Amino acid sequence: MSVHPMVPTPGRGAPLQPPGRPSNGKPAPGRNRGHRRLLWLALAVVLVIVGTITLAVVRSEPLTGAVVPTQPAVPAAPVAAAPPSLQDSVDDILSDAAEYRIGLALADVSGGAERTFGDQDTFTAASTAKILTAAAYYHLVENGQAGLEDPMGDYDAAFQLKAMVNDSNNDSWLLLMDAVGYPQLIAYAGSIGVTYDPEENLLTAADMALILKKLYAGELLDKDNTAQLLSYMQDTNNEDLIPAGSRSGVDVYHKYGEVSGELHDAALLSYRGSTFALVIYTENPDGGADEGQAEVIRDLTRAVEDALFPVGVAGK
């Protein structure tokens, strides 16, 4: 057994001495200096800790008169409804374009806030109804009654869907309507809440807004097919109507339509968690569609976006 050299070996009659103290009872000079160094070191550590905590508290509070950066205004939830001022803006535009028959419908995809302006009767829907045909065919695919790889014309159904929506190809439209079947297309529209006969092709602006609203909300198709159809509604063969009137930063998914004197656009406008269906149907009773109708569609788009996405919220 090893014995500490500074501690006497216990023996009979020999009192035990604590380590570091000589037998005369006086403290050892070297050990006393060691204790003082330990005390100073402990005190320094305590001062460092206190200083660190104090500095952290000071930094967490802004200095008097200091400018505290603020985050840009972002809506906490989708905008529920357009302000009353929208009515005046739309009325002014419709009044200036009184030579046309115009119907406008607006619907918040998060629910409610559906509003209509102008003529609420049916219009010849033209190619805007291709979105309904596309949704009906995708519905058959999801039910196992059709496939995207099914031969259709010179190509397959997937090709025809894209050509019908993105390029507004009428031959593709006829092929897809035949594949769905007219009675089935009527029944599918009815299941959405829309009265539609493909042979007449009549819809109100509110009907089309409802179709778009349900599409974006995922009430018509599954996630993948919804995303695919929406992708076809971007960078289409005609971007001169609602997309041209929309401000930068707003995502636009749309389908335009034109036949005889009717010029339409039906779109979804999405910005920072708020998405609205905007449908504008116009008719020139004097004959073919003209540039004035296109300009009215762009003006109405600007008025709607100014109301739905005000500059203070949109950060523009």
Asked which of 8-12, 48-52, 145-149, 158-162 is least confident by mean pLDDT, the reply is 8-12
- Per-residue model confidence (pLDDT) at position 118: 97
Q: Which among 305, 233, 231, 308 has a CA at the least distance from the CA of 265?
A: 233
Position 287 scores a pLDDT of 85
- pLDDT tens digits for range 63-98: 344 333 333 333 444 444 677 889 999 999 999 999
Written as six digits, the tokens of 208 are 């089309």
Render the chain in DSSP notation, one character per residue: ----TTSPPPBTTB----TT--TTSPPPHHHHHHHHHHHHHHHHHHHHHHHHHHHHHHHHSPPTTPPPP-PPP--SS------THHHHHHHHHHHHTTTSEEEEEEEETTS---EEEE--S-EE-GGGGHHHHHHHHHHHHHTTS--TTSEETTEEHHHHHHHHHHS--HHHHHHHHHHH-HHHHHHHHHHHT----TTT-EE-HHHHHHHHHHHHTTSSS-HHHHHHHHHHTSS-S--SSHHHHSPTT-EEEEEEEEETTEEEEEEEEEETTEEEEEEEEEE-TTSS--HHHHHHHHHHHHHHHHHHS-HHHHT-
Output the average pLDDT for the chain. 81
Residue 273 has a pLDDT of: 85
Per-residue model confidence (pLDDT) at position 80: 44
Identify the pLDDT of residue 53: 45
Q: pTM, whole model, 2 decimals? A: 0.74
Q: Is the pLDDT of residue 151 over 60?
A: yes
Q: What is the pLDDT of residues 162-199, one digit of tens each?
A: 999 999 999 999 999 999 999 999 999 999 999 999 99
Size of the chain, expressed as the number of residues it contains: 316
pLDDT digits (tens, 9 = 90+) for 203-259: 999 999 999 999 999 999 999 999 999 999 999 999 999 999 999 999 999 999 999
Q: Is the pLDDT of residue 6 over 80?
A: no
**Residue 40: pLDDT above 70?**
no
101-134: per-residue pLDDT in tens? Answer: 999 999 999 876 689 999 999 999 999 999 999 9
Best CA proximity match to 204, nearest among 314, 285, 275, 114? 114
Give the lowest-confidence range in 16-25, 27-36, 172-181, 186-195.
16-25
Q: Which two tokens stand for residue 295?
A: 């300009």
Domains (ranges, CATH) in the chain? 85-308 (3.40.710.10)
Residue 64 in tokens:
């008097």
pLDDT at position 285, please? 92
- Per-residue pLDDT for 42 more than 90? no
**Contact criterion met (CB below 8 Å) for 263 and 293:** yes
